[in-house]
Structure formats: C-alpha cells, structure tokens
A and B are shown apart, each in its own frame.
Chain A
Amino acid sequence: MAHIVVDDLVKTFSVAERKPGLLGAIQNLGWRSERQVRALDGVSFSIGHGELVAYIGPNGAGKSTSIKILAGILVPSSGHCTVAGRVPWKERRRHVARIGVVFGQRSQLWWDLPVADSFALIAAIYDVPASEYRPRLAKLVERFEIAPLLDVPVRQLSLGQRMRCELAAALLHGPELLFLDEPTIGLDAASKLAIRRHIIELNREQGTTVLLTTHDLDDVEALCRRVLVINHGRVLADTTLDGLRTSVTRERRLIVDLEREGDDPLFPGSRLVERSGPRVTLAFDSSETSAARAIAQVSARAAILDLLVVPPPIEEVVAHFYESKRVEPS
C-alpha cells in the first residue's frame, strides 16, 4: 500500500470580509459578510514508500494546507487521506510520532537553549529511548555537520546553520516520512546546496519518503523526479520536470557567442530572446527544427566562437504552465 493516499480532500475556510477604511471599520461592527474560500478543492494523489516528491504551486495554491492536513494539524472539511495507514487528524498523536516536519519559516528549537538541549528535549517529547537516541544523534550530527553548533544557543545561529539543525531535529525520532515546507527559504546558495545534498542522502540511504514544497525550482530540479503541481486547490499535473517542460513547450534556446558583435544569426523559425554584446540568445521550436539543423543554420549566417543548446529555464516553464491552465501566478 502506498505511503500517502490522498482522496478528494477539500478544505474550506470562512473568511470575514471587512470593508477597508474607517467608515468600513464602523460598518464592520454591525454586519460582516462571510466568504467561503476553498483552499483545497478535491485534491487526490498517492505517494509510494521511499519517493521524493516536490509539491509546487504559486502562493496560496493550497500547498501548505495540504501539508498541514497530512501532518495532522488541520482537519479537512471533507475527503479522506491516510498516511502509513492512519488518518492523521483522527489518530494525531500516534500519527505524528512517525513523521517528521520542517516548516522553513518557523523554528521548533528552543530559542534560549543550546542546540544540544533542544535536541534532548525533542527526543524526550517523542519518547526516544536513550539507546536509540545516542547513535542516531551521532549520525545526524555527522550528516548535517553540526558538531560545532551543539553548544551554541539557537538564537545565535545563522539561518543556514539553524536550518541544518531544524532538519536534524525533525529526524531525531527516526521518522519514515518527512514533510518539508519550504526548507530552503531565505538560504544562501551554499546552504541551499548543503540542505539539498542532505535530503538526497537521507532519501537514498534511509529510504525516507519525502514530500517537499518549495518555490525554488532549483530545489525541484536537484531533488525530485516527480512533481505535483497544484493551484487553486486542485492538482494540475502529476509528472516529471521534463514531462512538465514538454507538456508546456517544445522550445529550445540557442546561446551563441559571435565573433563579430552585430552579426545577425537569426534564421527562419527562430526568434530573438536576448542580445547582450556578442552573446545572442535565440529560441526555436524543437519539434520543427532539430538542434543540429538550428546550429547549421546559425553557423551559415555568422562566425561563431561558441554555442550552447539549453531548454528554457524552469521558472519560465512553470510560469507558462500556470498561465496555460488559465490561472495567475502570484
């Protein structure tokens, strides 16, 4: 049986509509209209053991709501889901004992205490026996390279250091499933790379199932073969990044470094994307023109120093995808 099964999950919030301004504020005293917002509008998917899946979508798409329901924090309005055979909100305590959660924008460590103390407390909260805790902690400290941080109060850590500690903290009870809600938010490039490497290792070596939400598509590219795209509370696509690319566009980019600035390498069926000095970027449709033909066309028109064929950047693909589903990316 799949590790996570989500079936037609719906979550509606009622939002009090308040009129803006002083006059509106006075009106709100007497009468307030309520509006139902469907954060999830029939979400279904399933995830197998040991999968590493990205859950992407614009802000307000319903990603965090889904994760919170799966983590047993929110109760859905209707629909059903099981995680490792349990219904999260019905067996909350037994369920959360088996999962790990990291919310990138929040911290679960004790601000005033050294990291090691926070770890010990979390282990106690999860009732991890000392015989399991010690070797696991040693391993996590090594994996996330946090040995020098253990004695430092959490408030003195940098964001990148703290996030490595947050991940370790979420794994102290040896969960078989990890929910990561924007784990790389706000991190610098090096910290992002480190976090990604740790997640991949964890998934490969321990077989931990990982469901990750992110706005950083490099995260997705580096980590996940499978991508769930959600918007307006519905799953729009369940595919791979490449699948997403081809479903949106067959376009390829040709980046050309010219010998003489000002030459025109454009050929019929191609389009100029960008020109900066001697570097020209062209776009062409790979279903009409093969890459080899495109290169031949360009080299027939201009003297070339170097060239490179690349797919369009994933940000554009995803933005395109949201648009093609007639939704607004935010």
Chain B
Amino acid sequence: MTPYWACFRAALQVALAYRAAALAGIATQFFWGLLRIAVFSAFYAASTMRQPLELAQVIDYIWLGQAFLALLPTRADPVVTAAVRDGTIAYELARPVDLHGYWFARAISLKLGPALLRAPPLITCALLLMPESIALRGPASGAAFAIFGLSMLLALLVGACLTVLVDVFTLRALDGEGAAILVFAGAWVLSGMVPVPLLPPGISTVVEWLPFAALADLPFRAYVGQIGTDAALLVLLRQLGWVVVLWLTSRMLLAVTLRRVVVQGG
C-alpha cells in the first residue's frame, strides 16, 4: 500500500464514518434536483426559441449534476486548512511523502468518497422511480457513454487540481480565502448550474473554455449527446490541458512556498 493510496483510503474511511451526512446529502440533492427541473420546465414552456438543448436533455443534465455534486471543488480541504492554521502542517512535512502528491490524493478522495456514496442511490432513483417526463434516461449512445466516462475521470482530476491550488494558496497566505472564493464560486456557478450552452452566446463561448466547465458541464453534455463523437476529442484534450496546467502551477507554487515556510509556535 503506497502512502498516497493510504491517504486516499483514510479520507474515504472518514467520509464513510459520517453516514447521516451522506443520507442528508442524498435527500437534499434529490429535492434540489426536482426544484431545478421545475425551474427549467417553466423556462422551456415559456420559451419560443429553439434552445441548443432539448428539455429532456436538460433533465438528464440536471440529474447527473445532482448525482455528482460532491465531485465539484466547492470547499477547501478542512484538514489542510486546519493544519496550516494550527501548525500541524509540521507533521505533514515530517513524513516521507511528497506533499503535493499527498494533497492531491486527499483532494481526490475528499470528492470521490462522498460521490461514491451518493451517486448510486440518486441515479437509481432518478432512473427508475421518477415519472417518465422527469426521469433520467440512459446515455445518448454507447459512444456517448464512453466519452462521458473518460470525461468524468478528467473532471475529477481537474477538480482535485483546483482544490490543491487552493491548499497551496492557503499555505502561502495562512488563509486561502481569496483564492478559495474565486475557485469555489466558479465551481458552483460556471460548471453547469445553468448548462453552459444555455448561457448567452458570447458568455457561453468564454465559459466553455474555463476550467470550471471541465468540472461537470462537458461530461454531462457528452452523456446527453450534445457533444458528438467528432467534437469529443477536442473536449477531452481541453480537460487534459487544464489538468496539466493546474497540476504544474500548483506544484511549482508549492515548491517555492516550502522554501520559505515558517511553522510558528512550540
């Protein structure tokens, strides 16, 4: 068992230790999903223009968003934040691991743990228990599902990279709130709260190229078939590009920061 795998397991175990939180999360996300569907149904009923996504596609998109909400980087790693504040970071530095890799493993498990707990029941519910008009449908095609799978994997990595970047800013400034607000607001609003193709044309073009779209919007659109197989390669490369850029940035920034780190107090 390598250190990174161990850390991954630890975070998973912690996530599993809080069953009540998982149950509450599932219930919240389920009802929030119904609410979003109601809003978009009203929007579509009132719209006279042809939209880039069918209502049925939007409904699928919403259910996926609710199921995989836990994958979004919407909060700082509480352990890292606390460790930087109270100096326990000293212990993390006194361990024979690469801190960047260690934080990355933590960031992944922090998202994957809750997502693995919440997604299956939510998807089952949305697939099988909902009336047909608002149920989640299967993927557009086998190819769409394959692209969706790959794209979700990359989405997880982009999310973890963003969390690590916030971790590094937290270490640099004792308080990563500035960077955190920027990243987390982006992750909430621009990742697909409103499906990116439904945003005004100019805005949607910009947003599509931001790392936030790579967190959820792109894979969901692949699932519903809005991103076809011909466009898929570009989308996957875009996600991969963000992984590489964010990974390298956070890694170099951490290396510089560690040279001048100060752990205060006894």
Interface residues of A (CB under 8 A from B): 13, 59, 63-64, 68, 71-75, 92-94, 96-97, 99, 101, 103-108, 110, 112-113, 117, 120-121, 124-127, 181-182, 185
Q: Shortest beta-carbon distance, A89 to chain B, in Å?
A: 9
- A124-B6, A125-B95 known; A106-B86 Cβ under 8 A: yes
Interface residues of B (CB under 8 A from A): 1-3, 5-7, 9-10, 13-14, 17, 86-88, 90-91, 93-98, 259-263, 265-266
> Of B9, B86, B263, which is in contact with the most chain A CB atoms at under 10 Å from its CB?
B263
Provide the residues of chain A in CB contact with B90, threshold 8 Å: 68, 71, 73, 101, 103, 106
12 contacts between A and B (CB under 8 A): A72-B94, A73-B94, A74-B263, A96-B93, A97-B96, A106-B86, A106-B88, A110-B10, A110-B14, A124-B2, A127-B2, A127-B3
From A106, which residue of chain B is reached at the shortest CB distance? Answer: B88
Provide the residues of chain A in CB contact with B94, threshold 8 Å: 71-73, 96, 99, 101
- Is there contact, CB below 8 Å, between A117 and B10? yes
Provide the residues of chain B in CB contact with A112, threshold 8 Å: 14, 17
Provide the residues of chain A in CB contact with B5, threshold 8 Å: 124
Q: Shortest beta-carbon distance, B263 to chain A, in Å?
A: 6
- Is there contact, CB below 8 Å, between B13 and A117? yes
* Nearest 8 Cβ contacts at the A-B interface: A124-B6, A97-B96, A108-B91, A125-B3, A73-B93, A124-B1, A93-B96, A101-B94
Given A74-B262, A103-B266, A125-B95, 17 more A-B residue pairs with CB atoms under 8 Å apart are: A68-B90, A73-B94, A93-B98, A96-B96, A101-B94, A104-B266, A107-B91, A112-B14, A113-B17, A117-B13, A121-B9, A124-B3, A124-B9, A125-B3, A125-B6, A126-B3, A127-B2
- Is there contact, CB below 8 Å, between B93 and A75? no
- Is there contact, CB below 8 Å, between B263 and A121? no
Provide the residues of chain B in CB contact with A121, threshold 8 Å: 6-7, 9-10
- Is there contact, CB below 8 Å, between B96 and A74? no
State A101–B88 Cα separation when bound (angstroms): 12
Provide the residues of chain A in CB contact with B2, threshold 8 Å: 124, 127
From A64, which residue of chain B is reached at the shortest CB distance? Answer: B266
State A64–B87 Cα separation when bound (angstroms): 12
> Of B6, B87, B93, B94, which is in contact with the most chain A CB atoms at under 10 Å from its CB?
B94
State A106–B90 Cα separation when bound (angstroms): 9
Tell which of B1, B91, B265 touches A101, judged by Cβ atoms closer than 8 Å.
Answer: B91
State A54–B42 Cα separation when bound (angstroms): 74
Provide the residues of chain B in CB contact with A127, threshold 8 Å: 2-3, 96
Provide the residues of chain B in CB contact with A75, threshold 8 Å: 259-260
From B95, which residue of chain A is reached at the shortest CB distance? Answer: A125
Q: Shortest beta-carbon distance, A110 to chain B, in Å?
A: 6
State A99–B94 Cα separation when bound (angstroms): 9
Q: Shortest beta-carbon distance, B115 to chain A, in Å?
A: 19
Q: Shortest beta-carbon distance, A308 to chain B, in Å?
A: 36
State A120–B260 Cα separation when bound (angstroms): 32
Q: Shortest beta-carbon distance, A258 to chain B, in Å?
A: 44
Provide the residues of chain B in CB contact with A68, threshold 8 Å: 90, 263
Q: Shortest beta-carbon distance, A214 to chain B, in Å?
A: 10
Provide the residues of chain A in CB contact with B261, threshold 8 Å: 73-74
State A101–B94 Cα separation when bound (angstroms): 7
State A231–B9 Cα separation when bound (angstroms): 44
Provide the residues of chain B in CB contact with A182, threshold 8 Å: 266
Q: Shortest beta-carbon distance, A112 to chain B, in Å?
A: 5
Q: Shortest beta-carbon distance, B114 to chain A, in Å?
A: 14
State A94–B1 Cα separation when bound (angstroms): 18
From A11, which residue of chain B is reached at the shortest CB distance? Answer: B262
